Chains A and B, each alone.
Chain A
């Protein structure tokens, strides 16, 4: 009897281990493929030109491989998204945790979660066909494809992530800190802005970083609404292209494998991967630091 239990335990242990190993293997495989194709790319294109060039025209006859326009487009849209999502998400999280009566909270949370369930292609057409025309009434010089409209819509898209992560951070602030602040005669607003938010800061920063990482990885929304034109600019009113949208563009046309255009998508994907990887690690570190500070 005892021996059989041990065998069963072992078996289950192996099962879980192999599941874990599988996902690690897949990740390593992806990295290996990315790395391999990227090396091919850099046999032809000098690293210097790739990192500091300001023109990106790999599909045209005069090929230029400067990734800065794609990075600019990606960061521009992510920043616009964060400008809206950060304050809004934080305020909603504070409201849900500190102000909303429990019944309202139970009603609001699922509604917000729905936002996370909408397919991103729907957000894309929402930006292109609804938000852009409205914005054009306010800003007449706005182009039909631009960074502003997908940026704003993306802020709605990442809102659920932003809210639930910052809510967690606020929730993790121990009750006795609040109680102590109230005991000293603080108002509710003072408690939130002088005690709760500063204590939850590392968690909130980590929520921001994860949201940014989600924003720069978003594909469909920017492919549809941002315009597919690599422009080295920080002007939100003109068409731009993000790294992810470029990858879509190349995979839609029939680019033969083994060509330079083909390996260019791996090179830009590698840059994207490094970017989100670093952001995620920073976020992870920060989350750990706030968990341990009150232990």
Chain B
């Protein structure tokens, strides 16, 4: 386990450092502490001075939520110099596996917890509070030199990504006859990723089912590099990662009905008002209820859900914050320790996040 952790961090360090030039310092420190202090993490240590927050928060999970949590962690550590917040990336599913073993205090999730995961958590005596923190869109992108794709319909994306397409739909003109007879190379998040789960759910129609012959990575930076260097590329991942790489990628609008007038590009506005359908969604963090007893963890959660922090930091890293009144409802979930997932109540599928949060209060 320790060895694996170390290697993963090593790789991420290089990826980030070379491809995106995100400050490597944070990653190094995050990795080393993950290795050495992993065991004491879940409980934290707050037997220091009463008023200083000096404990530790361990977080893992989605690469989509990572930029927000990382930004929150940096600001939080600035405010409380003695504290330590460690953020890993192993995909939403990978993070839940660790979360339900009680190894981490918070899991970043780009989709709601699923039934098998909540069962696993219950079996291990881990209870969680689901906290929606922002909206994200899944962007569909091609190489900047691609001049034939004007928009995609949801049906076209389904034709391309469903399991039957494997080794059958391999050229652009098979999707739309007027497109060139060029091979198409696909890039997408790996199967441990919540973005993959969400995309397959709304596009293919069944969660976790797709063709298998695409370049898959849990690290969105690898996908950016892949699409940006391949003229025949098509890929999807979080809109926020697109925003960091706008000059290297070409964003493609998506239409539900199937004509170019109705096609919508993801933007903060279209993601927030839900018109970028069906590829916009809320993203979450899950807090371990026991870990909330720790002062550092609970202070970090309060910081995360403070509407003024959310508005500036979340926008800064390319996501859409929730409306301020919804953050108050989310804070209420923490105070009341509501462990029921919003998405496991009746009729959840047809409700907006705001409706869910209101109905979830009882």
Contact = CB atoms under 8 A, between A and B. Distances in A.
Interface of A: 55, 57, 59-62, 64, 121, 125, 128-129, 132-133, 136, 140-141, 143-145, 223-224, 227-231, 238-239, 249, 251-254, 256
Given A128-B225, A144-B230, A223-B11, 6 more contacts: A60-B191, A61-B163, A140-B231, A143-B226, A253-B191, A254-B91
Given A55-B212, A60-B210, A133-B229, A254 B90 contact: yes
Interface stretch (B32-40, B42-50, B215-223, B309-317): B215-223
Interface of B: 4, 7-8, 10-11, 14, 18-19, 90-91, 93-95, 97-98, 163, 166-167, 183, 185, 190-192, 208-210, 212-218, 225-233
A141 B11 CA distance: 28
A64 B212 contact: yes
Of the listed residues B10, B216, B233, the one surrounded by the most CB atoms of chain A closer than 10 A to its CB is: B216
Contact of B227 (A144, A223, A251): A144
A145 B226 contact: yes
Nearest to B209: A61
B18 A253 contact: no
B213 A121 contact: no
B185 A143 contact: yes
Contacts of A125: 14, 18
B97 to A, nearest CB: 5
A230 B220 CA distance: 19
A136 B145 CA distance: 14
A144 B213 contact: no
Closest A-B pairs by Cβ, 9 of them? A144-B229, A57-B212, A254-B94, A144-B230, A60-B212, A253-B192, A229-B215, A143-B230, A254-B97
15 contacts: A60-B212, A61-B163, A61-B210, A121-B10, A129-B18, A133-B229, A140-B231, A141-B232, A143-B230, A143-B233, A227-B215, A239-B226, A251-B7, A253-B218, A254-B97
A226 to B, nearest CB: 10
Contact of A253 (B19, B90, B213, B226): B90
A125 B222 CA distance: 12
A45 to B, nearest CB: 16
A18 to B, nearest CB: 26
A239 B215 contact: yes
B14 to A, nearest CB: 6
B218 A144 contact: no
Contacts of A253: 90-91, 94, 190-192, 218
Contacts of B98: 254
Contacts of B18: 125, 129
Of the listed residues A223, A228, A229, the one surrounded by the most CB atoms of chain B closer than 10 A to its CB is: A229
B191 A59 contact: yes
A132 B229 contact: yes
Contacts of B233: 143-144
A238 B230 CA distance: 10
Contact of A231 (B163, B213, B227, B228): B213
A129 to B, nearest CB: 6
A225 B185 CA distance: 16
A252 B227 CA distance: 22
A104 B167 CA distance: 54
Nearest to B210: A60
A252 B213 contact: no
A239 B229 contact: no
Given A60-B191, A229-B216, A144 B90 contact: no
A227 B226 contact: yes
Nearest to B216: A228
Nearest to A142: B230
A197 to B, nearest CB: 41
Contacts of A62: 163, 209, 212
Contacts of A238: 183, 185
Nearest to B185: A143
B211 to A, nearest CB: 8
Contacts of B163: 61-62
A128 B19 CA distance: 10
A125 B19 CA distance: 10
Nearest to B186: A229
Nearest to B97: A254
Contacts of B212: 55, 57, 59-60, 62, 64
Nearest to A55: B212
Contacts of B230: 143-145
Nearest to A60: B212
A238 B166 CA distance: 16
Contacts of A60: 191, 209-210, 212
A98 to B, nearest CB: 41
Contacts of A61: 163, 208-210
B170 to A, nearest CB: 11
A136 B231 CA distance: 10
B215 A145 contact: yes
B191 A136 contact: no
Of the listed residues A125, A133, A223, A230, the one surrounded by the most CB atoms of chain B closer than 10 A to its CB is: A125
Contacts of A64: 212
Nearest to A124: B14
Nearest to B191: A59
Of the listed residues B95, B166, B227, the one surrounded by the most CB atoms of chain A closer than 10 A to its CB is: B166
Given A60-B212, A125-B18, A253-B91, A144 B228 contact: yes
